[in-house]
Structure 1
């Protein structure tokens, strides 16, 4: 069942002949005008990008602050538990 099956001698597969690729048609030229940025739209893009940076920064700082507060509270709890256990042993 698991023994390999070898092909009979002299039965090699035929080598495929190379096919020349056909050239692809070029993409159609668009009739739409290019995007032009006016001073107002440039200002809106800059303001939007600045607002996005401020929002992402505020979220990251608040997450860092949450981690710092959690670490401080865990440290306080560890000190309290340590002092309780120390008093209990004595």
Structure 2
């Protein structure tokens, strides 16, 4: 079989070579944290407490909203008379 002939085209050298003026800063690694059973339990208990507080705030907000609607309804009926 006949193979096509390609012209010789050598890769030209790069026009600009990058020479860093300053070395890259060395990244410091974070200190390792050891997780034992007490730490995990403290995180779980803290999560449960925060979830309970969030639920309490939500229930309080809903009950205040319901009380406001009821009071507004009662005052509107009182002014009509």
Aligned length: 63
Unaligned runs of 5+ in 2: 1-17
> 1:74–1:21: structure 2 CA closer, same or farther, 3 Å change rule?
farther
Residues 1-80 of structure 1: pairs in structure 2 closer than 5 A: 22=20, 25-30=24-29, 32=31, 34-80=32-78
> 1:65–1:46: structure 2 CA closer, same or farther, 3 Å change rule?
same
> 1:57–1:24: structure 2 CA closer, same or farther, 3 Å change rule?
farther
Task: Provide the aligned C-alpha RMSD in A.
Answer: 2.4
> 1:71–1:38: structure 2 CA closer, same or farther, 3 Å change rule?
same
Q: TM-score, normalised by structure 2?
A: 0.64
Distance 2:63 2:55 in 1: 12
Q: TM-score, normalised by structure 1?
A: 0.58
Deviation at 1:28?
3.8
Unaligned runs of 5+ in 1: 1-19, 85-90
